[in-house]
Structure 1
Amino acid sequence: MQPRWQPPPAPRRGAPRPAARLLALLLLLGLEAAAAPVDVGVQRRLLQQAARAALHFFNFRAGSPSALQVLSAVQEGRVWVNPEKGCKVELVFSTERYNPQDGEERLGKCSARVFFKNQKPRPAINVTCIRLTEKKTRQQEDYLLYKQMKQLKNPLDAVSIPDSHGNIDPSLRPMWDLAFLGSSYVMWEKTTQSSHYNLAQLSAVKQWKTNDGAIDFDYTVLLHEFSTQEIIPCHIHLVWSPGKPLRVKYNCQELQLPEGSGAEEGSAGAPTQLSSF
């Protein structure tokens, strides 16, 4: 007597069907194939680049001259490169306070996710930092700087900070710190996965009187682009009040392009969101 035919057992509730399992496997293999292997040297450079970009973004969003941070060291991180989309970086790094006081703990710690979109500027960034200056102390220092700025007479239209010997007059330090803050926005917007910038000099400062009490001034900075070693002048308009979002507008002249064709304009607005990878 032949065995009676039995239908195959129905899949358990919630269990993936064979076709769904196969599709998920193919998608996974496709993603792994899209992410190209990363050379150790390239990975190290991208981690450094991502840390710098994240700090530019953090400094701008903090909107506080007393909260300015600079990179100390990258501690750990991972890099994914997709030839069609760009590269995504997850990392942890330590920071130092830009203008530390004597005897204080200098190191902070940040974690960030950064997405560079194939040589396009303005990377998408999500960054969180801890162990920084306490909020109350930061507010007090910002207000002191605000008072110093309000007491300044209108600076000359032609001024160089630092001077030719690399020194910054103490009376002009608030102006430099605010210029650094506003330039952080410009440097974040212009950063790509292969180009990064540093503030080299502040010049041509003009402070404006305002009815709302904000610090309002125009200035020109020279940005040093490391990969090309070019010095790029940028005209920046900055409006700042303690505890309020920073407002920045700028125009940069790219030296490698013909005159009149290299201007790049930007203004501070909502940050980009991290793209899917």
Structure 2
Amino acid sequence: MGLRGVIVLVGLMGTTWSFNMTTIRPEAVSTDTFARPETTEETTEQKGAVAEEEAVEDVMATGELNPSHYPAQRAAKVVQHYLNTRYGSPYKLFGLKQVHSGNAEDVADSGRKYQLDISVHEIISDTKENCSAEVFFPRGVKQLSPQVQVSSCEELLKIDANSEEEALYQQYKTNKTLRTEKRLPDSYGHIDPEMTPFWHLGIVASSFIMLNESTENTLYNVAQVANITQLTTENDQLKFDCHVLLHDMVSQEIPQWKLLFTWSPAGGVKVLHTEQLPHVHDCEKHPKTN
């Protein structure tokens, strides 16, 4: 599948965007995680105005922030990845619904801190709740993961999916034939309902990478779970090898990663190993996913 096809697929999981291949309009970014993409035509004059606005935003990203513009959106997206790494499961998946307000401040020379009021959406139960969050982006020669604190989300985090999780766990724990699935979603945006929990698992596992790789200059979504393979169960944990395509809306790059992770209802998702693969345009052909 070509790069163009991958970017189209991002809309199936990602935010509602208005973009072409050269300009992304930050004010048009919606935060609903599973909305479909919308495209618009822009004049050269409009593109220049947007580029100028983005440049001004980056310089003035301290103090009160426009909730619909990139500085607030980038920080708030990190909260989504954080929640999925802590509480995500095949039947519990968190998305960013809306940024209501935001404020940024420099913390000496150590980094920048964002205070956010946001709406978080638990996708599967279609439950929404307003939350407060603090995101700190460290500065330094070595890139460090953002630090996140979330409050006022108690009801959202109490959502009970234990029965569904236990049923899935028991079904695949006793599998005599280990399963491999490719392209979630496929080129037509379709996912077999039976494989939807594994699509969700791939997203949750990918959130560990997206959280770790996020900076003030990124905005990550999952484009596709290119391959997910169940491995032999060890220590009562379901074990998976997974190849995912991510999408950074800011750079329009499609970084590829391989993950080794485990999951059980009691232990949650644990990522054991990650490896970044060459970019699509660096390869003569797509890497094998089997």
Q: TM-score, normalised by structure 2?
A: 0.67
In the alignment, the residues of structure 1 paired with residue 61 and residue 88 of structure 2 have an alpha-carbon distance, to the nearest angstrom, of 37
Runs of 4+ more than 4 Å apart: 35-43, 256-259
TM-superposed CA distance for 1:97, in Å, is 1.5
Q: Is residue 63–residue 103 contact of structure 2 (8 Å, CA) maintained in 1?
A: no
In the alignment, the residues of structure 1 paired with residue 182 and residue 63 of structure 2 have an alpha-carbon distance, to the nearest angstrom, of 45
What residue number does 2:27 align with? Answer: none
What residue number does 2:224 align with? Answer: 201
> Larger Rg: 1 or 2?
1
Give the counterpart of 2:133 among 112, 121, 125: 112
What's the C-alpha RMSD, in Å, of the aligned pairs?
Answer: 2.9
Give the counterpart of 2:79 among 45, 54, 62: 54
In the alignment, the residues of structure 1 paired with residue 184 and residue 68 of structure 2 have an alpha-carbon distance, to the nearest angstrom, of 35
Q: Is residue 47–residue 77 contact of structure 1 (8 Å, CA) maintained in 2?
A: yes
Q: Is residue 36–residue 82 contact of structure 1 (8 Å, CA) maintained in 2?
A: no
Q: Does 1:243 align with 2:266?
A: yes
Instruction: State the SS of the aligned residue for 1:187.
Output: helix
Q: Is residue 173–residue 238 contact of structure 2 (8 Å, CA) maintained in 1?
A: yes
Q: Is residue 109–residue 130 contact of structure 1 (8 Å, CA) maintained in 2?
A: no
Instruction: State the SS of the aligned residue for 1:67.
Output: coil
Deviations 1:209-260 (A, max 9, x none): 224321101010000111111111100001111121432021113639989x
In the alignment, the residues of structure 1 paired with residue 188 and residue 61 of structure 2 have an alpha-carbon distance, to the nearest angstrom, of 46
Q: Does 1:131 align with 2:131?
A: no
Q: Does 1:220 align with 2:220?
A: no
Instruction: State the SS of the aligned residue for 2:156.
Output: coil
Q: Does 1:78 align with 2:103?
A: yes
In the alignment, the residues of structure 2 paired with residue 257 and residue 169 of structure 1 have an alpha-carbon distance, to the nearest angstrom, of 29
Q: Against the structure 1 CA distance between its residues 42 and 140, is the aligned structure 2 distance closer, same or farther, given a 3 Å change threshold? A: closer
In the alignment, the residues of structure 1 paired with residue 201 and residue 163 of structure 2 have an alpha-carbon distance, to the nearest angstrom, of 16
Instruction: State the SS of the aligned residue for 1:210.
Output: strand
Instruction: State the SS of the aligned residue for 2:161.
Output: helix
TM-superposed CA distance for 1:154, in Å, is 2.4
In the alignment, the residues of structure 2 paired with residue 211 and residue 188 of structure 1 have an alpha-carbon distance, to the nearest angstrom, of 27
Instruction: State the SS of the aligned residue for 1:231.
Output: coil
Q: Against the structure 1 CA distance between its residues 256 and 116, is the aligned structure 2 distance closer, same or farther, given a 3 Å change threshold? A: farther
Q: Is residue 63–residue 244 contact of structure 1 (8 Å, CA) maintained in 2?
A: no
TM-superposed CA distance for 1:205, in Å, is 2.2
| Greater shift in the superposed pair: 236-245 or 121-130 | 121-130
Q: How many residues align?
A: 219
Aligned pairs (5 A) from 1:250-265: 250-253=274-277, 255=279
TM-superposed CA distance for 1:190, in Å, is 0.5
Look up the equivalent residue of 1:216 and give its one-letter code: K
Task: Note the residue ranges of structure 2 that are not aligned, 5 or more in a row.
Answer: 1-59, 284-290
What residue number does 1:12 align with? Answer: none
Instruction: State the SS of the aligned residue for 1:132.
Output: helix
Q: Against the structure 1 CA distance between its residues 213 and 258, is the aligned structure 2 distance closer, same or farther, given a 3 Å change threshold? A: same
Q: Against the structure 1 CA distance between its residues 84 and 252, is the aligned structure 2 distance closer, same or farther, given a 3 Å change threshold? A: same
In the alignment, the residues of structure 2 paired with residue 37 and residue 197 of structure 1 have an alpha-carbon distance, to the nearest angstrom, of 22
Q: Is residue 64–residue 243 contact of structure 1 (8 Å, CA) maintained in 2?
A: no
Aligned pairs (5 A) from 1:129-168: 129-132=153-156, 134-135=158-159, 137-150=160-173, 153-156=177-180, 159-168=182-191
Q: Identity over aligned residues, as a percent? A: 30
Q: TM-score, normalised by structure 1?
A: 0.70
